[in-house]
Amino acid sequence: MEKFTTLDGIAAPLPLINVDTDMIIPKQFLKTIKREGLGKNLFDEMRFDDEGNEIKGFVLNRPAYRNAEILIAGANFGCGSSREHAPWAIKDFGIRCVIAPSFADIFFNNCFKNGILPIALPAEQVEALMAEADKGANARLTVDLKEQKITTADGQAIAFEVDPFRKHCLMEGLDDIGLTLEKAAAIEAFETAAAQARPWV
């Protein structure tokens, strides 16, 4: 997994609540058997019209935000289906950090597995960052995972929380499966005991 330490990039504002994973990546793009290449269809139905032309007003089509690496959105971001295609598409587009007042559970988890940092902040702070992001390409944000701090272009700093284990994995680019396999003895012991206690499983 790609490491995440600090990110200095353009933040795109998407002031919508309940952005669901169907909006992030519509189902017609779930038919792939690969993880890559989904970025071109990120937010497809908001980004392109029926003929496949760009819809002008959509934030990621605006010149200032075409290379955004941070997304700022409304509450309950990533609700709906468990499709990991959603974070794959976000990552493939080039976005490495999503900031919102709250996230849906599965999406939140999926982000960490793909080198994306989701940050939940109080609504007022998200609003302030949204206003910042509205200023366009000059409004870069710096996200420092080690210090757990977001810094705006004019030097304001906002602290954020992150689970220590997930922070460690993101910073080191660690593969969960490898870590868990180190506990193979504990898993085996559990299976032996369970075979006694619940043999019908």
Partner 1 sequence: MAGKTLYDKIWDAHLVHQGDDGTSLLYIDRHLVHEVTSPQAFEGLRMTGRTVRAPGQTIAVPDHNVPTTVDRAKGIENEESRIQVEALDTNAREFGIHYYPVSDVRQGIVHIIGPEQGWTLPGMTVVCGDSHTATHGAFGALAHGIGTSEVEHVLATQTLIQSKSKNMKVEITGRLLPGVTAKDITLSVIGHTGTAGGTGYVIEYCGEAIRALSMEGRMTVCNMAIEGGARAGLIAPDQTTYRYVQGRPHAPKGAQWEAALSWWKTLRSDDDAHWDKVVTLRGEDISPVVTWGTSPEDVLPITAAVPDPASFSGGKVEAVRRALDYMGLTPGQKLQEIEIDTVFIGSCTNGRIEDLRAAAAILKGKRIKDGLRAMVVPGSGLVRAQAEEEGLADIFKDAGFEWRMAGCSMCLAMNPDQLAPGERCAATSNRNFEGRQGRGGRTHLMSPAMAAAAAITGRLTDVREIAAPQMA
Binding characters for partner 1, 158-197, by CB under 8 A (x = yes): -----xxx----------xx--xx-xx-xx--xx--x---
Q: How far is CA 30 from the centre of its chain?
A: 18
Of 9 and 15, CB closest to partner 1: 15
DSSP code at position 53: P
How far, CA to CA in Å, does 92 sit from each of 35, 96, 146, 180? 9, 9, 24, 27
Q: How far is the CB of 121 from partner 1 (least distance, A)?
A: 15
Selected binder of partner 1 within 105, 147, 161, 172 (CB under 8 A): 105
Q: Residues in contact with partner 1, total (CB under 8 A)?
A: 54
110 binds partner 1 (CB under 8 A): yes
Q: Which of 9, 39, 80, 94 binds partner 1 (CB under 8 A)?
A: 80
Tell me the C-alpha distance between 51 and 29, whole Å.
Answer: 16
Q: Do the beta carbons of residue 43 and residue 90 sit within 8 Å?
A: no
Rule CB under 8 A: say whether 3 interacts with partner 1: no
| Contact pick of 82, 142, 148, 151 for partner 1 (by CB under 8 A) | 82
Give the nearest distance from C-beta 25 to partner 1 in angstroms: 11
User: In this structure, what token pair is assigned to residue 5?
Assistant: 């330490």
Long-range residue pairs from 25-33, CB within 8 A, at least 24 positions apart, any chain: 25/83, 25/85, 25/86, 25/88, 25/89, 29/85, 29/89, 30/83, 30/85, 32/85
CB 158 within 8 A of CB 171: no
- Binding of partner 1 by 198 (CB under 8 A): yes
Told to check if 28 binds partner 1 by CB under 8 A, we report yes
User: Which pair of structure tokens corresponds to residue 65?
Assistant: 């935000």
Q: Which residues bind partner 1 (CB under 8 A)?
A: 15-18, 20, 22-23, 26-28, 30-35, 45, 50, 74-76, 79-84, 87, 102, 104-106, 109-110, 113-114, 163-165, 176-177, 180-181, 183-184, 186-187, 190-191, 194, 198-201
